[in-house]
Each structure stands twice: as structure tokens, then as C-alpha cells.
Amino acid sequence: MIISTPDLSTADGHVAEMFAEDVAEDGFVFGHTRAMAVNPEAHAAFEALIRAIIPSLGVRVYEAATLGAARAIGSPHCLLAHGRKSLRAGVLTEAGLRAFAEGDDSGFSEAEQAVIRFSTRLSTTPALMTDEDAQELRDAGFSDRQIVDIALAAAARNHFSRALLALAVPVDTLPGLDRSLSTALIGITGTGAEAQRPADR
């Protein structure tokens, strides 16, 4: 990563809060946090967007949308971070997360798997999406607000993940995540082309 990032010892305001959260949680500041700290206003706006999305979806659906998008993009930063978050929140077991890394989404409910398919298509072939994609979510029981927020969650992950990839931000080891599981998640290169509707794709 060639960009210069704020120094921990002189950080203040929102940057200091970003750094302090990482240090309190894991004992160091992640590379992706340092990169996003170059524009703290944009990072704060991103956090505000996520806070506006989660309440209608709940943690499980939000993480399904996020992990689905991150896997389709092939984002190691977000797969590791949200893989660990999903474990800690009880969204997935370690076996379920390992299966997800291998393309098996059975650790998620049928409705959540529809969210993963939607997020995958948004992340790989958005120009080809039609009302049928949103209809699959509606058929799975999601409301109009939830459908919009699922799209926003997946799109937000594209924004964050692709920015980190474009800046060549180093991937840090994530404490508390089994090494072999981390390796499996980092090894994901995207499975978007394989995400088809059950009946017609």
C-alpha cells in the first residue's frame, strides 16, 4: 500500500476513535482501518449507512448479504472480518463458515441463501439483474424495505471491499480465527457465475 496513513500517536477525532476500537478489540490497528482513516468523513458516512440498514434486516440477514457479496468479490479483508463477526454473533458455526468458504451455504436458512444469491448477482452481474431477482427475495418473505436494505448492504460491501482491493491494502492476520479457516476464506476467488436461481437459471 503506497498511500501514507495517519499516525496512531497523533490521531484525533474520528480517526482516534477508529484506531482505539481496533486496539481495544485486537491490540493493533488494522491496515484497512488505517487506509479508511485517510478520509474519516467518508468512513463515518459509511458507518452511518450500515447503522441505517441493519435494524430492518437483523444481524443474520445483514451478515448473509455481506458475506455473499464479499465471497463473490473475493475480498479477503471482509471475508475474514465478517467471518469472525458471524461466528461471534452465532450466525454460523465454525463448520458452517468453513462450508461457506467452500461454496456450501447450508449453514444459512433458505431465506438467507436467497439473500446470498442476490448479493452474489449484485456483486458480479448487476447489469443483468431484473425484477425477478427482487421477487426471489419477496418470495422468501422479505418486505419492500428489507429488499432495498439487502441491496444496500450488498452494494455497501462492494464499495468497501473494492476500495481496499484497489488500494492494495495488506491483509492482516485476524486474532481469534482458526488459521486453517482463515486460509480457506482468503483462498476464495469468487463464485458469482455459479449463483443461479433455483428454478430458472
Per-residue pLDDT at 131 exceeds 80: yes
Question: Does 38 reside within a domain?
Answer: yes
- Give the total number of structural domains in the chain: 1
pLDDT band of 192, cuts 50, 70, 90: very low
Question: Does 116 reside within a domain?
Answer: yes
Q: How many CA atoms lie within 13 A of 46 on its CB side?
A: 19
Question: Does 4 reside within a domain?
Answer: no
Per-residue pLDDT at 201 exceeds 60: no
pLDDT band of 187, cuts 50, 70, 90: confident
Question: Does 40 reside within a domain?
Answer: yes
Question: Does 119 reside within a domain?
Answer: yes
Question: Does 2 reside within a domain?
Answer: no
Question: In sequence order, what are the residues at sequence separation of 6 or more whose Cβ sits closer than 8 angstroms to the Cβ of residue 16?
Answer: none
* Average pLDDT score, the chain: 92
- Write the pLDDT tens digit of every residue in 45-99: 999 999 999 999 999 999 999 999 999 999 999 999 999 999 999 999 999 999 9
Per-residue pLDDT at 193 exceeds 50: no
Pairwise CA distance, residues 62 & 53, whole Å? 8
Question: Does 129 reside within a domain?
Answer: yes
Domain that holds residue 179: 12-194
- Write the pLDDT tens digit of every residue in 165-181: 999 999 998 998 999 99
Look at residue 94 in the predicted model and tell me its pLDDT: 94
Look at residue 189 in the predicted model and tell me its pLDDT: 53
Per-residue pLDDT at 113 exceeds 80: yes
b/e string for 143-173 if b means 16 or more Cβ within 10 A?
eeebbebbbbbbbbbbebbebbeebebebbe
What percent of the chain is predicted at pLDDT more than 90?
A: 89
Per-residue pLDDT at 141 exceeds 80: yes
Per-residue pLDDT at 34 exceeds 70: yes
- Write the pLDDT tens digit of every residue in 154-164: 999 999 999 99
Contact 173, 80 (CB under 8 A): no
Contact 169, 49 (CB under 8 A): no
139 burial type by CB count under 10 A (0-12 exposed, 13-18 middle, 19+ buried) = exposed
Pairwise CA distance, residues 159 & 24, whole Å? 26
Q: In this structure, what are the phi and psi dihedrals at residue 157, rounded to the nearest 5 degrees? A: -65, -35
pTM: 0.90
pLDDT band of 117, cuts 50, 70, 90: very high
Look at residue 90 in the predicted model and tell me its pLDDT: 96
Look at residue 196 in the predicted model and tell me its pLDDT: 41
* CATH code of 124's domain: 1.20.1290.10
Q: Which of 187, 197, 180, 57 is nearest to 133 (CA)?
A: 197
Question: Does 163 reside within a domain?
Answer: yes
